[in-house]
Structures are given as structure tokens and as C-alpha cells.
Amino acid sequence: MAEAAIKETVDEAQDLTDGFSLVIDAMKLNGIDTIYGVPGIPITDLGRLAQAAGIRVLSFRHEQNAGYAAAIAGFLTKKPGVCLTVSAPGFLNGLTALAHATTNCFPMILVSGSSEREVVDLQQGDYEEMDQLAIAKPLCKAAYRVLHAQDIGIGFARAIRAAVSGRPGGVYLDLPAKLFAQVMNADAGAKSLVKVIDAAPAQIPSPAAVKRALDVLKAAKRPLIILGKGAAYAQADDAIKALVEKSGVPFLPMSMAKGLLSDMHPQCAGAARSTVLKDSDVVMLIGARLNWLLSHGKGRTWGDAPKKFIQVDIEPREMDSNVEIAAPVVGDIGSCVQALLDGMGTNWSAAPADWTGTVKAKRDENVAKMAPRFMNNKSPMDYHGALGALRTIIKERPDTILVNEGANTLDLARGAIDMYKPRKRLDVGTWGVMGVGMGSAIAAAVETGHPVLAVEGDSAFGFCGMEVETICRYKLPVCVVVFNNDGIYRGDGVNTGGGSDPATTAFVKGARYDKMAEAFGGVGVNATTPDDLRRAVNEALDSRKPTLINAVIDPAAGAESGRIGNLNPQSKLRKK
């Protein structure tokens, strides 16, 4: 080829861009700086190139855990967490996390490579063939597929906006293999990208709705504010604190809203839960749904006294989903809470003192009742002894992020470990999913830089334990404590059929989970007393070294299903 012709070809090539580059440019343009995923065909090079372009790419051992990491990254940052998966099996592995994000109202984008449309649609047996878009659709808030390189910018813009605007949720973005290798003119490619402006616009409540809500609240004799994880997500911490304090109303934090206002706050009613739910006459829900976790707003939990609900939520269709909402306030929590505060004016009279006194008395009584249980130094440990050590550590290190899953390990830690700062408690969420622990711990460390303490039931840990290697590989400041009671709920189950198989809920006795960390160069500790546990956790948090502590818990210490045994169908049969 003549020299001039060669030069022309090279120049032309330099003027081109491709699908890989456009995907990376679209993410960078929109501030997406971290990807959680698992490499493989057709996205291996996308991961490599993204890393080369300065995006942090964390490779996991299983897509489900990468997905849980992306979901919780969304909760912590209000930006969509991105999970990147390969086609069919990798996509399906990520899908549980996408559905979990949607259920919990966390913004997340599952970006998945997929096989060739023409072959998939004719069902000709392509490599990892699957109609992924159709499968994802019912499980997420929105689902899109990009077929042409020039649409990558729009595809990402739609995905980002869908994930974070209105009620946040999971979005699926399908990128067929062929797309990555498509080339187009670099200038046209750059122009096709979209920077999403004001992705989650403020949604201002109507003045009439605000007035109605304040009128209901003002007339209350026994008011209660329930703060949910939507309130934690909203990052309107100062306004929420001001509203609670100005109103003088006791507040009950849902699990992941613990710490939004400190559990030590004089108005916190976390330790008087039954009393405030049963005896309140007006309940203001802020970013909390009346779902199963609040007994759907009716029945025994809520007592016989008539109740009026005020609900602050961005999703209008949430109103009246379970019971009548007397005062719906639809808008984003920051705007709604500010409008409520403004509407209260300067001479708002605080909640009646006889009610706040009753709540405080009940709370103090429960706290005093519980206190001695945290002091025991039994070996093997019971839950309270072990949690007594951990609650002190969180009190001394309130910036530590607490990840928590299991049944007894979850339910007892929720009550035992007081939280002091917003968005420091991450757990199983609305579905009670086991296995969110390691993904959540990894994302929490990556997104915030704070040390993480993951308190895990041995069963819960088993769903995601291989990610200990990921924690060690990226040298993350994560201390995992496995509450090892040899099983699901309890380790002393027996096979009533009399065979040699173990009971369905029992695991290997005396397992040493700490050895897993050692296998990957982390620190492993076997803790048999609360003192051992306290020492090992403090060391881990000081050193920021990946650590796994096997906390030996009495196999007979737990209850079936923790605090939700009543949901087992057999418990209903027994009552008959």
C-alpha cells in the first residue's frame, strides 16, 4: 500500500471509537466510578478497559454477591450501584440482587452482556442463549437493551434516571456481545453520550398535603414517628432531626434507619417498640412502608385504639396500600420534611408529656432488663454475651459500619447494638435475604473507607463466604464475625426419622470458619469467650486487616427463626 494510503487508514482508525469505549465513557461522564462484577465472555475486556480508564472494578467470586454490593452502594451513595455480569448464568446469578435492590428501593443497574439477538430469538442454541431482557423485566423497575453503538449514551442515561428518580430501584441494561465491537466515528460517538442532568429531581409536596398532615399531628395525644430506610437513604439527616426534636414526638427507627438519629436520643423509642405501636393514636411514617415488618398497620401489634396514619413517601401508590392513610404527603423526604418543619412555625407545642413520659419509662425498663444479659462471660458464648462485647465496640467506634444477617444473629444484634450515626447499619432488608453480608461489607468499605464489622450467622455467611477471598485480595478493612452455633437457628437439631443423616438445620459441629481467612492471607481467630471476641475485633478494626473471627456460640442458644417464628406455618398449625 502506498504510504499516503496507509496514513489515511491509520487516521481513519484514530477517528473511530467502539462499543467498549462508549460504555466506559458513558459511565465516566455520569460519575460512575466503581463496578462490581464477575468477568467472562463477552465482558472480560470491558472490565479490563474500564480499570485501565480509571474506574474501580471489583471482581467477585459470584455475581450474586457483586449484585448485593452494587445494591448497597446505591443505598449508601444515592448513585446507582453498577453490577456487571456475563450472559445467561452470570446474568441469572445477578438477578436476585437486582430484585432485592428493587424491593428495597435501592438504585442499582445490572449491566449484562448477552448473546446474539438473531440467534437467541430463533432459539438456535447460541453460547449462553437466553432472552435476558424478557426475564429481567418483571423483576426490576425498568429494563432496556442497546443494539447500536450510537445508542449507548441514551441507554445509560435512561438506566441512570430510572434507577434514582422517584422511588429508587433496580434497572436492567442488556448489552449484546456484538455491540462492544461495533465501531463508529469518534466525534459522533462523543456527541451521542448523555450527561444526565438532575437525575433525581426534588419532588415538592403540595401545601394542602403538608397542612393536612400537620393538622392530624397537632391533634394527636400519643403521636409516633417511624423512620424507615427511605429516610436514611434520603440523606436529609439534619432536617429529620430538626422535625423530630421540634415536634417532641417519640421516634421508632426501622432496622436500617437505626442511627439516623442516635439510639441514645432521648426521644428514641426503639426499646419500647410494642408500647408505641400499640398505644399511639397518630403515626407518621417517613420512608417506611406498612409491610410485614410493621404487621401491615393492623392486628394485635397495633392494638385496639383507633389510629391515624400520616405517610411521607415519594411513591404515591404506596398510600393506602395496607390501611387508610389519613394524611398522605407525597414528595421526596428532604422537601417534605422541610415543608413540614416550615409549616410548624415557631409556636408548635411539643407532644404531650404524659405520653412521652410513658414511652421513656417503658424504654428505660426494657433497657435495664436487658443490661445484665450483656455482661455474661459464658463459654461457649450465648448471643447476649457475644453481643455485649460488640455493642461496646460500636459505641466506642461509631463510624464503623455494621453489617448484620442471620436469624437470631440478626434479630438479637438489632436490639443489642445501639447505632449512633446514619447509614451505619446494613442488613437483610425487606426480603430478609441471607447472603447479603459479604457484598454489603465489601461495598461499604469501598464506598465509604470506614472499617466494617460484619456480624453473620453461620448459615447466612455460608451463602456468601467465598467472598472472604475478595476481601483479602482487595485488602479491605472488613472484620467478619461468624456466630457459629453449628446451624440454622440452632445447632442441636435431631433427625427425627432416626437415620444417620444430620438434621436439616444442623451443620458440621465445631467448624472453624476462621481458617478460611488464613487460607487467603487474612487473619483468622477462634473466639470462645466475649473477652476473646472483644480483643480480636478491636485488633482487626485497629489494624484494618481482613479478619474472620469464628465466635463459638452455644448450639442450644437460639430460637427457631429468631424473632419471626410466628411466620412459620407450623406455628399456626400448633395454635389450632
The residues that touch Mg ion, with contacts defined as CB under 5 A, are: 457-458, 485
Give yes or no for residue 564 binding ligand OXT (CB under 6 A). Answer: yes
Provide the residue count of the chain.
576
Q: Of these partners, Mg ion, ligand OXT, ligand ADP, none, which one is at the site of residue 289 (CB under 5 to 8 Å by kind)?
A: ligand ADP
Which of the stretches 121-129, 280-288, 340-348, 411-419 binds ligand OXT when contact is defined by CB under 6 A? 411-419
Residue 562 contacts ligand OXT per CB under 6 A: yes
Residue with smaller CB distance to Mg ion, 266 or 565 = 565
> What's the rounded Cα separation, in Å, for the pair 164 and 423?
18
Nearer residue to ligand ADP within complex by CB, 318 or 514: 318
DSSP state of 553: B
φ, ψ dihedrals at 48, nearest 5°:
-60, -45
- Does residue 271 interact with ligand OXT by CB under 6 A? yes
C-alpha–C-alpha distance, residues 146 and 183, integer Å = 14
Q: Are 159 and 80 contacting, i.e. CB atoms less than 8 angstroms apart?
A: yes
Tally of CB atoms within 10 A around 40: 17
Q: Does 406 bind ligand OXT (CB under 6 A)?
A: yes
* Residue number, 222 or 414, with CB nearest to ligand ADP: 414
Which of 559, 541, 557 lies closest to 385 in space, CA to CA?
Answer: 557
Q: Which is nearer to Mg ion, 228 or 457 (CB)?
A: 457
Query: Reduced to 3 states, what is the DSSP secondary structure of residue 441?
Result: helix
Q: What is the distance between the alpha carbons of residues 196 and 159, in angstroms, rounded to a whole number?
A: 10
| Helical packing angle, 19-29 and 44-52, nearest 10° | 50
**Rounded Cα–Cα distance for residues 236 and 227 (Å):** 12
Residues 434-453, mask of contacts with ligand OXT (x by CB under 6 A): xx------------------
* Binding site partner of 234, from Mg ion, ligand ADP, ligand OXT, none, Cβ cut-off 5-8 A by kind: ligand ADP
Task: Tell me the residue number closest to ligand ADP, measured at CB.
Answer: 230
Q: Which is nearer to ligand OXT, 348 or 374 (CB)?
A: 374
Q: What is the DSSP letter of 104?
A: H
CB of 237 to ligand OXT, least distance (A): 21
Going by C-alpha positions, the residue among 274, 281, 294 that lies closest to residue 355 is 281
408 binds, among ligand ADP, Mg ion, ligand OXT, none (CB under 5 to 8 A by kind): ligand OXT
Q: Which of 268, 428, 442, 517 binds ligand OXT (CB under 6 A)?
A: 428
Distances from the Cα of 570 to the Cα of 296, 556, 561, angstroms: 21, 20, 12
Q: Which is nearer to ligand OXT, 316 or 372 (CB)?
A: 372
Q: Applying CB under 6 A, which residues contact ligand ADP?
A: 104-105, 167-168, 228-230, 233-234, 254, 256-257, 287-289, 291, 293, 313-315, 318, 332-333, 430
Q: Residue 84, interface with ligand OXT (CB under 6 A)? A: no
Residue among 488, 517, 523, 527 that touches ligand OXT (CB under 6 A): 488
Is residue 366 a contact residue for ligand OXT (CB under 6 A)? yes
302 binding partner (options ligand OXT, Mg ion, ligand ADP, none; Cβ < 5 to 8 Å by kind): none
Q: Is 404 helix (H, G, I), strand (E, B) or coil?
A: strand
Name the residue type at position 293.
L
Contact call for residue 563 and ligand OXT (CB under 6 A): yes
What is the smallest separation between the CB atom of 430 and ligand OXT, expressed in angstroms? Answer: 8
458 phi-psi bin (left φ>0, alpha ψ -120 to 50, beta other): alpha
- Give whole-number Cα distances, 449 to 197, 236, 409, in Å: 28, 21, 25
* In the complex, residue closest to ligand OXT by CB: 457
For ligand OXT, the closer of residues 212 and 378 by Cβ is: 378
Q: What's the min distance (Å) between Cβ of 285 and ligand ADP?
A: 8
Residue number with CB closer to ligand ADP (146 or 256): 256
433 near ligand OXT, rule: CB under 6 A:
yes
Q: Residue 552 — φ and ψ, nearest 5°? A: -80, 110
- For Mg ion, the closer of residues 255 and 485 by Cβ is 485
Q: Give the neighbor-by-neighbor strand order of the sheet with 547-552.
A: 425-427, 401-405, 452-457, 478-484, 547-552, 523-527
Judged by beta carbon distances under 5 to 8 A according to partner kind, the member of Mg ion, ligand ADP, ligand OXT, none in contact with residue 460 is: ligand OXT
Question: Which of ligand OXT, Mg ion, ligand ADP, none interacts with 370 (beta carbon under 5 to 8 A by kind)?
Answer: ligand OXT
Contact status: 571 vs ligand OXT (CB under 6 A): no
β-pair type (223-227, 34-37): unpaired
Q: How far is the CB of 191 from ligand OXT (least distance, A)?
A: 45
Select the span of 1-9, 97-105, 400-408, 518-526 touching ligand OXT (CB under 6 A).
400-408
Q: Residue 20 or 463: which CB sits closer to Mg ion? A: 463
* Beta strands 183-185 and 16-18, pairing class: antiparallel
Among 414, 407, 419, 406, smallest CA distance to 465 is for 406
**HEC per residue, 143-190:** EEECCCHHHHHHHHHHHHHHHHCCCCCEEEEEEEHHHHHCEEEHHHHH
547 sits in which H/E element: strand 547-552
- Least distance from C-beta 509 to ligand OXT, angstroms? 14
Q: How far apart are CA 427 and CA 436, in angstroms?
A: 7
Contact with ligand OXT (CB under 6 A) among 59, 235, 379, 561: 561
Q: Which residue number, 25 or 405, has a Cβ lying nearer to ligand OXT?
A: 405
Run of H or E residues at 452: strand 452-457
Which residue lies nearer to ligand ADP by CB, 80 or 287? 287
Site residues (CB under 6 A) for ligand OXT, limited to 163-222: none
Which residues of this protein are in contact with ligand OXT, per CB under 6 A?
255, 270-274, 293, 366-367, 370, 406-411, 414-415, 418, 428, 432-435, 457-460, 483, 485, 488-489, 558, 561-564
